[in-house]
Amino acid sequence: MARDIAEHFVSVSDAQERAQTALLGVPEDSVVVGLSAAAIWGMPLPPSVAQVLKVGPVSLSRRGAATPIRRPKVDGHSIDIPASHCVMHDSLVITTPARTWVDCAALVPPDHLLAMGDWALGQGLLTLDEVNSIVTWARKRRGVVRAREVLPWIRIGAESGQESRLRWHIVAAQLPEPDINPEIVLPGPRVVRLDLAYRGLRIALEFDGEWHVDTQQHDAQRRREVEAMGWKVIVATKDDLFDPTAILSQLRSEIAYRCSFGRHRW
């Protein structure tokens, strides 16, 4: 799991250092934006993006219609950035987390965008009102349609970017939204936490990362105990996040099957 998590993040200190270097000698109206800003805020990113950010250019924008910066190691832009969309963060002028999230909507797939939003909300970096305000301001700008699509599904309490991505695929397939990290009581009594679940239907969705063998054995035992209580546990893997067709089909069938017995409460 450590590798699963690490590949989605860029070292914040490294991202800050690279941005500080890129800002040397540039006009004073320059702002760190986009994915570079997301890395500095510590947001989880698609692994391919994270790898590029570790060695690639830093995204800088000049406000308004100023000429974009053209120099090595800088991806220059010139975009409209009101003063309220910027903040001084550890000596860097950078877009706020809410503005950064909206800007990234054009740069990452929606499942990753939801993971970024869930994480930033959980860290207290942004509020839904802040994001909604910027989405309204952005109107016809690039990526705003995707931001509007994902925004209603950002939730507090999500503990894993992979689980957020799985939840996106579920709701995008027009299936009911599952509960996030619900707790159930097993005999003992013992309380266990599930990744995602429809408590009324007794369907659990668990994500299997690259766990140590001891953790895999523990999870397998816990899932057997949950199923002994009448639950159906559906296990998703990393591959299901790239092609969710099979797991969504399994989930849809299980929902229909359990609803046929009169269970309709999610």
Residue-wise pLDDT for 138-191, tens only, equals 988 899 999 999 999 999 999 889 999 999 999 999 999 999 999 999 888 889
The packing angle between helices 110-122 and 97-104, to 10°, is 170
Pair 106, 52 in one domain? yes
Write down which residue in 156, 182, 208 finishes a domain: 156
Domain boundary among 114, 134, 156: 156
Please tell me whether residues 152 and 187 are part of one structural domain: no
In a domain, residue 266? The reply is: no
Tell me how many domains the chain contains: 2
CATH code of the domain covering residue 227: 3.40.960.10
Does 50 reside within a domain?
yes
In a domain, 264, yes or no: no
Burial 86-110 (b: 16+ CB within 10 A, else e): beebeebbbbbbbbbbbbbbebbeb
Query: Is residue 89 pLDDT above 50, yes or no?
Result: yes
CA distances from 134 to 42, 126, 179 (A): 20, 11, 28
Shared domain for 31 and 113, answered yes or no, is: yes
**In percent, how much of the chain has pLDDT > 90?**
66
* AA letter at 61: S
Q: Are 19 and 46 within one domain?
A: yes
Q: Determine the pLDDT at residue 27.
A: 87
- Among candidates 93, 65, 100, 69, which has minimal Cα distance to 79? 65
Residue 70 lies in a domain: yes
Tell me if 265 is assigned to some domain: no
Residue range 2-14: average pLDDT? Answer: 68
Same domain, 104 and 6: yes
C-beta separation of 129 from 162 below 8 A: no
Q: Is the pLDDT of residue 1 over 80?
A: no
Do 167 and 215 lie in one domain? The reply is: yes
Residue 175 and residue 150 share a domain: no
Q: Is 116 left (phi over 0), alpha (psi -120 to 50) or beta?
A: alpha
How does residue 135 score in pLDDT terms, banded at 50, 70 and 90? Answer: very high
Residue 100 lies in a domain: yes
- Residue that has been written with the tokens 């006009």 in this structure: 27
Q: Which of 156, 171, 202 is the last residue of a domain?
A: 156
Mean pLDDT across 79-97: 93
| pLDDT averaged over every residue in the chain | 90
Residue 61 lies in a domain: yes
35 and 80 fall within a common domain: yes
**Are 97 and 183 contained in the same domain?**
no
Instruction: For residues 135 and 196, state if they share a domain.
Output: no
User: Quick one: which of 49, 34, 43 has its CA closest to 114?
Assistant: 43
Domain that holds residue 6: 2-156
Let me know whether 10 and 140 are in one domain. Answer: yes
Indicate the pLDDT class of residue 3, thresholds 50, 70 and 90. Answer: very low
Output the six-digit token pair for 118: 């869930």
Q: Is the pLDDT of residue 60 over 90?
A: yes
CB atoms inside a 10 Å sphere around CB 144? 19
Q: Indicate whether 19 and 137 sit together in one domain.
A: yes
User: What is the reported pLDDT for 100?
Assistant: 98
